[in-house]
Amino acid sequence: MANLEKRLLKKLWKAIFDFDMFQDWETILIWVSWWKDSMVLWYLLSEFFKFSKVKVKMKAIYMYKDFLIDCDINFLEKKKYYEEVLNIPLEKVIVKLPEDSKVNDWLGLSCQWCAYARRISMFKLCEKYKATKIVYWHHLDDIVVTAYMNMIEWRNLKIMPPKNKMKVWDITFIRPMAYIREKDIKNFADIKKIPYSSCNCPVGTDWNRNKIKHDIIWANEKIIPKYTENIFWAFIKDFQEKYKKTWYNM
């Protein structure tokens, strides 16, 4: 267990420093979900900041999605874990979209529109708390799957990078677990008994993202063991060569 935790923290530290993710005393918003990825990330970050010279103001936000399918699973259990174990204050924010928002027409039909709606809400919270960064829990497998989706569905060679800035909003997205595999996150959560819940959204259980991950990427990994990691590093090297100066403005 100790070896796995050290390995995950080492990869977290490397991603944070490779992409210069944190600056002293800035305010960052942690976007909380109850999935294993989210819960493990916040555990690792709490350990990281115990020893890091960089100090930030962290605010964990769970968005109760009044306008979306409810994923509010065992909220009090997770809140207790955040505040008593991780020592990170967790705020539950009830978010609603304006009734005339065009996004409402698509919610419940697409995971993409769901994520878009939540992102808009987080931007508004960044303004409220004067936060400059949003922390996501995406890992190495997420980045590879997203790149495949962009190619297959949109004919676009574009990745979800470990760090990227918005052009319009003065906000930067960071993904400290970019170098960590999903299988290691799952093992760590189970061994460490970190509380988490699976997504209960009926839309997200049978969509292309899962098909691409299981039937293409992980299926090929059974034949070529380093398949996923080699694809990841090919994308990352290309990203760094093209966008190092701008961190992939969007």
The pLDDT tens digits for 101-133 are: 655 565 555 666 667 777 878 888 899 899 999
Full-model pTM: 0.87
pLDDT, tens digit, 9 for 90 and up, residues 7-32: 999 999 999 999 999 999 899 998 88
Task: Give the per-residue pLDDT at 2.
Answer: 81
In this predicted structure, the answer to whether residue 95 has a pLDDT above a threshold of 60 is: yes
Q: How many domains does the chain have?
A: 1
Residue 182 lies in a domain: yes
Domain contains 249 = no
The residues, ordered by sequence, that sit 6+ positions from 140 with a Cβ below 8 Å of its Cβ are 177, 178, 179, 180, 181, 182, 228, 229, 232
Q: What is the DSSP letter of 212?
A: I
Burial of 156 (0-12, 13-18, 19+ CB in 10 A): exposed
Residue 53 counted as domain residue: yes
By the 8 A CB rule, do 209 and 111 touch?
A: yes
Tokens representing 117? Answer: 């709606």
Range of the domain at 68: 2-243
Helix or strand (DSSP H, E) at 67: none
CATH number of the domain at 213, please: 3.40.50.620
